Amino acid sequence: MSKITILAHKSNGDKLVEALHESGLMEIERVSVEGIEEGKIHPDAGILAGYDLRLGRILEILKGYAPRKKGIKNLLKKKVEKKRVRKRSMEEKIREAEKLLEEIEQTVLENERRINEIEEEIEFLRAEEKKLEYLALFDINVEWLGKSKYLIIKFGISTDLSSLEEKNIDFYYRKIGEKKENKWAVLIVAHSSMEEEVSKIKNFEEIKIEGEGKARELLKEIRKKIKDAIKEKEEIKKRLAKIYRQRRLELLAIKEEIEIEKERKEVYRNFGETLYTFLIEGWCLAENAEKVRQIVEEATEGNNAIFIKKAKRNPDEPPIHLENPKWAKPFETFLELFALPKYNEINPTVFLGIAFVIFFSMMLGDAGYGMVIFLLSLAAYIKFKESEFIRSWSFVGIWLGVGNIITGFLFNSFFGDFIPRFIYGDAEKMLYNAEIFGMTLPIDAIHKPVLILSIALILGLAHLNLGFILAVYKNLKRGHVKDIFIEQIPWFMLEIGGGMLIGETLLELWQLSSIAKIIAIIFTVIGLISLFKRNGALGFFEITGFLGDWLSYARLLALGLATAGMALAFNVIAELLPDIVPYVGIVLVPILLVVAHFANLLIQSLGAAIHSLRLQYVEFFNRFYEGGGKKFMPFQIRRKYTEEIK
């Protein structure tokens, strides 16, 4: 990264900002220099924000009434339609936005307001409909309800008829609600002299209904009103959907152009400001530094002062731009989920990507599942060429599929024991038989878990030591040679010496010569002394922590066995199904196998992905990685719905 400082006259401000924005080469930071006044947001930014808000509101309203297509294809990102636009001034863009808003804004807002009114009206009518449905159970006129000279007629809902029976009041009731629910529609008829007693009835909620005529006739009228209101609402929704369909691209395009202009005006608040000049500070990639200089020279016609300095690690804290080979780009997301590296720190994306594929493949470890992942990913990669997001993740899926096909055939798993059980007719038979470099393949993971555990621990040890090697490289790059002898060398010595001694005494793998044993003891003692000297009594926990991290790689075996075991269980059930359910079982076998294996694939893939990342974030990164960098975010135009033409 290169630090860039630009001093330019205010008269060249708009032209310079536009040139930097179009180049997209420089990230502009807020200037904080003693004696320099902080910049103010451009006055036009408020005007542009107003148009942006209005256009966004109209789009949001219209989008809510647009018909939504269903199906998996519509969940995936499709090619975005773009409007071709010529380069124009801010005033021209504002005029276009104003013209478009004049044509549709009032119509859209009025229709939206009318829909809200209709919804409130429908809600009221629904409540009245419910009341009349209950009253229609009794063949009376609505106007009869209430108090007359001689009678009191009340209608409502009761949850306990005994309270009515105790009052010796005439009432009529109909059961409503669920079967087990104590709820009745009740019509009370009493002499006007009993008004006080009627008012004291418990567990009775009176319902007020206005109108004239039979409840059933009024109910029909209410339902007709509801039907008419719904019809009117649907017609308005269709009109709004039509406007969205016809004007969608126009709205999105002009909103995007307004946002581009707004971003240019808002960036002024990051500048330092004097009476006649702007001070601009920021970052660019080192290889683009001269391009930025040239852009500034042309935009200001040479009336500027520009200073470019190669960034140092401290105290500049420059942003981070990850440079990875194309195949490793998709794995950057996994790194960003944890933390970006600091400036001049090692970029571990390549190592993370390779290890993720290996660990995932060992934890899922089934050739059949790998084939499904591979074919689905390959199909998505070919089908959705216009979507960079889908192609990126499909590329990862292709690698994971290939990895699982390899590990599946290495560990004798193709949808569990599907081939031996259903094709060979012998569940104990291997997928194939081969011998490479004296090793018999495939390795039956279920019957030889210790061998798989050994492979997992060897991989884990290699992975942890790769972390130490990267830490050595980082310290060399920073010139911290002393730290290598304090932090990494003791671990290498302890691993070598301790490994030699443990291999001889506990595991009985070899017999050391006298000289080798002395070297092993010296390495072990030096490693222990260095650890305890640096960490004090906590050095013991450093050792146990390292052992715990190493043993964490045993999850490669555990999850691999879980996948194989579940697949085997499904196959056994499918094999027994015809005997358990004669005739029907034969039909159910393929259905059970497809559903069960697909569910197993989803569940185990999720577990494999999570634990693969955990091994990177906790065990691997702990050896060398600091993180805490901020992403390089250049000041650039981002177009999605427009394409500028000359």
Q: Would you state the structure tokens that stand for residue 429, as one six-digit string?
A: 């038979």
Q: At 71, is the pLDDT very low, low, confident or very high (cuts 50, 70, 90)? A: low
Q: At 389, is the pLDDT very low, low, confident or very high (cuts 50, 70, 90)? A: confident
Other CB atoms within 10 Å distance of the CB of residue 368:
19
Within 8 A by CB and 6+ apart from 614, the residues are 552
Total domains present in the chain: 2
262-287 mean pLDDT: 91
pLDDT at 527: 87
pLDDT at 112: 93
pLDDT at 52: 94
pLDDT at 178: 80
Residue 98 CA: distances (Å) to CA of 56, 63, 103, 305 = 13, 20, 9, 39
User: Is pLDDT of 211 > 60?
Assistant: yes
Residues 200 and 346 in one domain: no
pLDDT at 108: 93
SS3 28: strand
pLDDT at 313: 62
* Residue that is last in its domain, among 185, 217, 249: 217
pLDDT at 315: 57
Q: Give the residue ranges of DSSP H helices in 411-447.
A: 418
Residues 330 and 209 in one domain: no
User: Is pLDDT of 73 > 70?
Assistant: no
Strand duo 170-175 + 642-645: pairing: unpaired
User: Is pLDDT of 508 > 90?
Assistant: no
312 or 432, higher pLDDT: 432
How far apart CA 642 and CA 57 sit, in angstroms, is: 20
Residue 633, in any domain of the structure:
no
For 128-147, what is each residue's pLDDT tens digit? 999 898 988 888 888 888 88
How far apart CA 404 and CA 414 sit, in angstroms, is: 10
For 150-159, what is each residue's pLDDT tens digit? 888 899 998 8
* Residue that is last in its domain, among 217, 235, 254: 217
Residues 201 and 343 in one domain: no
Q: At 36, is the pLDDT very low, low, confident or very high (cuts 50, 70, 90)? A: confident
For 483-493, what is each residue's pLDDT tens digit? 898 888 989 99
SS3 645: strand
Identify the CATH number of the domain in which residue 183 sits: 3.30.70
pLDDT at 288: 92
Best CA proximity match to 392, nearest among 448, 349, 332: 332
| Residue % of the chain over a pLDDT of 70 | 98
Residues 213 and 332 in one domain: no
* Residue that is last in its domain, among 161, 189, 217: 217
DSSP 449-481: HHHHHHHHHHHHHHHHHHHHHHHHHHHHHHT-H
Q: With 0-12 CB in 10 A as exposed, 13-18 as middle and 19+ as buried, what is 74? A: exposed
Residues 468 and 586 in one domain: yes
For 452-490, what is each residue's pLDDT tens digit? 999 999 999 999 999 999 999 999 988 889 989 888 898
For 571-625, what is each residue's pLDDT tens digit? 999 888 888 888 777 888 889 999 999 999 999 999 999 999 999 999 999 999 9
User: Is pLDDT of 378 > 70?
Assistant: yes
Is this prediction's pTM over 0.85?
Answer: no
For 410-439, what is each residue's pLDDT tens digit? 998 999 888 888 888 877 888 888 888 777
| Residue % of the chain over a pLDDT of 90 | 50
Residues linked to residue 436 through DSSP beta bridges, in sequence order: 439
Residue 525, in any domain of the structure:
yes
Residue 569, in any domain of the structure:
yes
Best CA proximity match to 118, nearest among 211, 234, 239: 234
pLDDT at 78: 58
Residue 278, in any domain of the structure:
no
Other CB atoms within 10 Å distance of the CB of residue 133:
16
Residue 196, in any domain of the structure:
yes
In contact, 381 and 394? CB cutoff 8 Å: yes
pLDDT at 70: 58
Q: With 0-12 CB in 10 A as exposed, 13-18 as middle and 19+ as buried, what is 426? A: exposed
**Type of residue at 595:** V
What is the domain extent for residue 488?
Answer: 326-623
In angstroms, how far is the first alpha carbon of the chain from the final one? Answer: 32
pLDDT at 376: 94
Residue 264, in any domain of the structure:
no
Residues 386 and 519 in one domain: yes
How far apart CA 361 and CA 429 sit, in angstroms, is: 23
Residue 613, in any domain of the structure:
yes
Mean pLDDT, the chain, rounded, equals 89
Residue 391, in any domain of the structure:
yes
Residues 211 and 331 in one domain: no
Residues 438 and 584 in one domain: yes
Other CB atoms within 10 Å distance of the CB of residue 227:
11
pLDDT at 445: 83
pLDDT at 604: 94
Within 8 A by CB and 6+ apart from 384, the residues are 76, 77, 390, 391, 394
